[in-house]
Amino acid sequence: MTEILQNLAGRPVIVGSGLAGLIAALTLSPEPCVLVTRARLGAESSSVWAQGGIAACIGADDSADLHLADTLVAGDGLCDAAAAAEIIAEAPSVIAALHRLGVSFDRDGNGSLALGLEAAHSRRRIVHAGGDGSGAAIITALTKAVLTDPAITVIEGVEARRILTTNGVVSGLLCAGSRGGMVLPSSRVLLATGGIGGLYEATTNPAGNFGRGIALAARAGAVLADMEFVQFHPTALDGNQRPLALISEAVRGEGAELINERGERFMRHVSGAELAPRDVVARAISAEIARGGRVFLDARRAIGASFASRFPTIHSACRSVGIDPAEQLIPVRPAAHYHMGGVVTDRDGRSTLPGLWVAGEAASTGLHGANRLASNSLLEAAVMGMRAADDLKSKPMAVPLGTIPPMPSEPDTTAVRPTVSRQLGALRSAAGIQQSIEALLPMAEGNDVGADPAIVALMIAVSASLRTESRGAHARTDYPLKQPAAQRSRITLGQALEIARAASSLNLARSA
């Protein structure tokens, strides 16, 4: 039976307890709000696994302009420069806010914030905590703050399954928990549901994060952007464990080198070498693996005995599979890591659907363009979580609940993952994308457990088919060059289904 939680009616509802969700709830306080999250507070989030830290232009040799310039280069012509400039300018104040909320960032011998270097950053600007345990340090502090804040009602172990709308405006959220279904009547819903890595076999994301929020927003009619841009992290720890442990860019930032099984440093002649943009490094590693080779990170000379203290999380991940990175090579491979696309939002986190705000990785603000600059995502999650909360604070509306649909089953990615992994990976082609559209369309149109993951994957596939160029993280073997006048892509679920149906029937007619 589905219970309507009238006692919480009208309160803003935040979905997800990664950085974006937690900071939004704390920013809303003292206005009472509800925080709904699938697992325990802060668990099953990419945020808690973040290693490198948060990009913030606070070094004496740094500026917001330099940080913006690096971001625009990584974004490969598709960033929204104005949105990026605004988010980047707020980095120093976000670090200060997190510090006030109890995050203890690492400091150097003089007591100043210690700044790490990551790929494609022209300055040392990665603020970190607990060595490579930045995400855990941030989430631990924010979780503590949320749990002690009486204004925030936390509902754990509950999954949002549908956004309810009445006459095109958000009127509530249909959720499922172990004790049955529930409806939270609210005209203010903030999705902070994270990324899409769970659509792929090889990912660094929590397996459950397949873009649930994107599916909810798409079903409710919101516009999505940049769906084709999926960033593959070049250096996940290669092995049988899932999700794959990440070997942060910061390890390469400290001088570790990429070598193949022949001992060749194959990135030596590429501009930026090991610290070239992620897509460049990921494709170079993919090419080594595609020719039957293997790739390793060699941290022995550059980091050596200090590996365990500088990178404790990575050190223990390596040790758990019997590798001592101070003395041995670390086997690595690319894995789906970050989604630049998502629900289109404005600079206050507002989606195109009245009553729906989106923040963090589930959103597409235009900061990242075609490729994310390392460590800009925690920054975006924090800035946009706070901005969205500030915006929805003053906007209560009385929207009556309409008809409540039956509770959909718990989504499952099993049927979708093989297609997505094979056809929508780091290197794409028209034939592969077409095959993925044909495989995904019937699932996306159905009501099975694969429908929501298939909807997200189909929108990636259709957007990939429409982008007939290679740019940023989107690489096509049949269109290796950039088009001169590229723009960000925008699509609704209705449009994606229409294009997919046309593409499928055209192919059927051709093969008849």
Exactly one of 11, 13, 21, 315 binds ligand FAD (CB under 6 A); that residue is 21
Q: Which is nearer to ligand FAD, 195 or 334 (CB)?
A: 195
Q: Which is nearer to ligand FAD, 139 or 500 (CB)?
A: 139
Asked whether position 36 contacts ligand FAD by CB under 6 A, the answer is yes
Q: Which residues pair with 15 in a beta bridge?
A: 36, 191
Spatial distance between the Cα atoms of 197 and 204, rounded to a whole number of angstroms: 7
Exactly one of 27, 153, 187, 204 binds ligand FAD (CB under 6 A); that residue is 204
Q: How many CB atoms lie within 10 A of CB 40?
A: 12
Q: What angle do CA 299, 301, 302 make, to 5 degrees?
A: 65
Q: Strand, helix or coil at 201?
A: coil
Q: Which is nearer to ligand FAD, 299 or 340 (CB)?
A: 340
Interface with ligand FAD in residues 229-248 (CB under 6 A): 246
Asked whether position 361 contacts ligand FAD by CB under 6 A, the answer is yes
Asked whether position 14 contacts ligand FAD by CB under 6 A, the answer is no
Return the closest-CA partner of residue 10 out of 28, 26, 34.
34
Interface with ligand FAD in residues 163-192 (CB under 6 A): 192
Q: Which is nearer to ligand FAD, 131 or 195 (CB)?
A: 195
* Cα distances (angstroms) measured from residue 108 to each of 42, 90, 262, 426: 28, 23, 38, 38
Q: Which is nearer to ligand FAD, 374 or 399 (CB)?
A: 374
Q: Which is nearer to ligand FAD, 103 or 246 (CB)?
A: 246
Spatial distance between the Cα atoms of 64 and 50, rounded to a whole number of angstroms: 23
**Minimum distance from CB of 128 to ligand FAD (Å)?**
8
Return the closest-CA partner of residue 21 out of 190, 218, 175, 134.
190
Stated as kind and residue range, the H or E segment containing 436 is helix 430-445
**Minimum distance from CB of 204 to ligand FAD (Å)?**
4
* CB environment 83-107: b (16+ within 10 A), e (fewer): bbbbbbebbeebbebbeebebebbe
Q: How many CB atoms lie within 10 A of CB 305?
A: 9
Asked whether position 432 contacts ligand FAD by CB under 6 A, the answer is no
Q: Which is nearer to ligand FAD, 40 or 265 (CB)?
A: 40
Spatial distance between the Cα atoms of 461 and 227, rounded to a whole number of angstroms: 8
Exactly one of 187, 193, 231, 351 binds ligand FAD (CB under 6 A); that residue is 193
**Minimum distance from CB of 40 to ligand FAD (Å)?**
9
Return the closest-CA partner of residue 117 out of 126, 128, 109.
126
Of 38, 123, 188, 278, the active-site residue reads 278
**Minimum distance from CB of 359 to ligand FAD (Å)?**
7
Pairing mode, strands 330-339 and 230-237: antiparallel
Exactly one of 11, 35, 51, 323 binds ligand FAD (CB under 6 A); that residue is 51
**Minimum distance from CB of 24 to ligand FAD (Å)?**
9
Exactly one of 94, 152, 154, 160 binds ligand FAD (CB under 6 A); that residue is 160
107 is annotated as an active-site residue: no
Which pair of structure tokens corresponds to residue 476?
């096509």
Return the closest-CA partner of residue 130 out of 204, 246, 234, 48.
48
8 Å CB contact between 344 and 224: yes
Spatial distance between the Cα atoms of 187 and 401, rounded to a whole number of angstroms: 9
Exactly one of 12, 14, 53, 323 binds ligand FAD (CB under 6 A); that residue is 53
Interface with ligand FAD in residues 245-284 (CB under 6 A): 246
Total binding residues toward ligand FAD, as defined by CB under 6 A: 44
Interface with ligand FAD in residues 96-125 (CB under 6 A): none
Asked whether position 213 contacts ligand FAD by CB under 6 A, the answer is yes
Catalytic residues: 278
Q: Which residues bind ligand FAD (CB under 6 A)?
A: 15-21, 36-39, 44-47, 49-54, 134-135, 159-160, 192-195, 204-205, 209, 212-213, 246, 338, 360-362, 375-378, 381
